[in-house]
Structures are given as C-alpha cells and as structure tokens.
Amino acid sequence: MHDKLDKFMSEKITIIDERLHQLLSPIDVSATLKSAMTYSVDAGGKRIRPLLVLATLEDLGVESVDAVTVACAVELIHTYSLIHDDLPSMDDDDFRRGKPTNHKVYGEAVAVLAGDALQALAFDGLTRLESTPAEQVVQIIRLLTEAAGAQGMVGGQMLDMEGEAKPLTLTEMETVHVHKTGALLSFSIEAAAILADLNEEKTQKLKEYAWNIGLAFQIKDDILDITATTEELGKTAGSDTLSDKSTYPSLLGLDGAEERLARHHQRAIDSLEFLGTNDSLLSLFADYIVHRKS
C-alpha cells in the first residue's frame, strides 16, 4: 500500500475506534447487550466507510471536529447490517473476518437486538455533533436514513436475496450493489461534502467518485472470491461459484470483470481532477480498493 495512505489509515483507525468506544460507553441497561454490540464493532473491519469520510475532508482541506462522529455513525450502520446478514435465517454464516459471528457467540435473539441497538446508536451519534449547524445535522441524518433503509442498503440486501433464486442481468446485479454496498460508501463521501460545505458542482464530482469506487469495490470482491484463498479472505473462498450466484466474473468472465474494474477505477480517478493533485487520499483509496488482497 502507498505509504501516505498507510500512515493515514493507521492513524485514523485508532481515532475511529476510540470514538466508537466512546459512543458505546454510556450503555448500561444490559451488560450482555453492550458486550454483543461491542464484540461486532471490535471484530476487525477494514473501516473503509469511516476512513472515506475522513479522507474526503482531508483532501478538501477542511477540518471538522464532527468528522469522526459522522464516520462512526456509518460504521455502526455497516456493523449492524453484518450482524443481521450473518443470521441463520439470512446468510447463515458462522465466521466473519476469521471470528465467530455475533449469533454464534451470543445467540440469535441477542444478535437481532444488538443489530437493532447499533442502528439506533448510529443516529444517536449524529444528534451529538458539536460544531455542525442543526440544518446540516438534519441533512446528514436524512442522508444516512436513505442510505441505510429500504431505498438503500436494506433494499439492496433484499434484492440480493431475491436475486439468489434466479440468474441476474448485469444491470440487475449493478442495482443490487449500488444499493447494498454503494449506498453507505456514497453516504461517507456525501456526508463529508456537507460537513465541508462543498458546492454543488464539486459534490457531484465526489458522487461520481463514490459511485465508481462502490462498483469497483464489489467487482473486486467478486474477483477475489475466485482468485484469493480462504485464508487470505478470512471467509470461504469460492462461495459465490458454489452457490451459483450471479457475479461479475460469472457474467463477464474473469478478464471482462478485470476490465470493468479498471474502467470504474479510472472514472473514479478522473472525477477527482478538481482536487488538483495526483496523490489525493481518495485516489490512493481507489488504488487500494482495486489492488487489495482481501
């Protein structure tokens, strides 16, 4: 990984983790519930969504004391969605990132509730911003409800489940990803644009960037499922092929998928031209997404 991005990520992950624990710390009604929530928050994610919030602001040269809290809100939504996705009635996964899934440790009922409480906590965090005007706070909360709910992530998860029963076209598959994965990634970048009070034209460029890295992210995931080992992934490799799931490689072939990945990567980079530099964190992020090994 590029040194600049590497340094940025390790520095910021510490700050994100600290703030996540601060947000969890007042919880004292049920110790088990708090423990279950904390378990999944600490389960070693790559923190891509919160890092994107911070990277966008850094590239824009804007400082906001509220950036880390906004970053944590999207990570809490992402975390809750993983807990619920792993449930026996959903993907029925026993392991995630090499650790037992929430319901394997705490049982299904607690896992449902821990997910529910993490969703509420995400929005709660956003009501505690310190220096952001209330109008913008409301705007950010709405952006997250849309990204997280039936018109965003949850809608995408639903389409994904419905899609498992039948082969999807490329367009249908793209619709799944734009909602299931893309919505939260876009939130990260758009929320940062709101905190930075960015103008409409530049915000539009960042949205293009978000759209393209969202799809690149998913294409890379599909490719890794074929080319990486189970050990590298921390989850079962080749599971898409086994489940006959429509993926970019299954629809386009591995070469076609690589080509499409390169195209979205290039478009993401192009949309960052307005930043006036070649080594913005966001462009390094795009490189990272495309070249990652897991």
Applying CB under 8 A, the residues found at the interface with its own copies are 26-30, 32-34, 37, 80-81, 84, 87-90, 107-110, 112-113, 115-117, 119-121, 123-124, 126-128, 133-135, 137-139, 141-142, 145-146, 148-152, 154-159, 161-162, 179
- Using the minimum distance from each CB to its own copies, give the nearer residue, 64 or 157: 157
Least Å from the CB of residue 71 to its own copies: 18
* Residue 188 or 271 having the CB closest to its own copies: 188
- The Cβ-side half-sphere exposure at 272, using a 13 Å CA radius, reads 27
Residue with smaller CB distance to its own copies, 187 or 288: 187
CA distances from 185 to 23, 97, 206, 248 (A): 21, 20, 11, 19
Nearest approach in angstroms of CB 91 to its own copies is 9
Shortest approach of its own copies to residue 151 CB, angstroms?
6
Q: Which residues contact 162 (CB under 8 A, 6 or more apart)?
A: none
- Residue 116 CB, nearest approach to its own copies (Å): 5
> Please, what is the Cα angle at 38 between 33 and 182, to 5 degrees?
110
Least CB distance to its own copies at residue 163 (A): 10
Residues 175/218, Cβ–Cβ less than 8 Å: no
Look at the block and give the residue holding tokens 């429509």. Answer: 246
* Helix%, strand%, coil% for the chain, nearest 5: 75, 0, 25
Length of the chain: 294
Nearer to its own copies, 124 or 174 (CB): 124
Q: How far is the CB of 12 from its own copies (least distance, A)?
A: 25
Closest CA to 129 of 63, 184, 70, 193: 70
Q: Is the Cβ of residue 16 or residue 129 nearer to its own copies in the bound state?
A: 129
Beta carbon nearer to its own copies, 124 or 287: 124
Number of other residues whose CB lies within 10 A of the CB of residue 165: 6
Q: Quick check: 217 and 289 in contact, CB under 8 A? A: yes
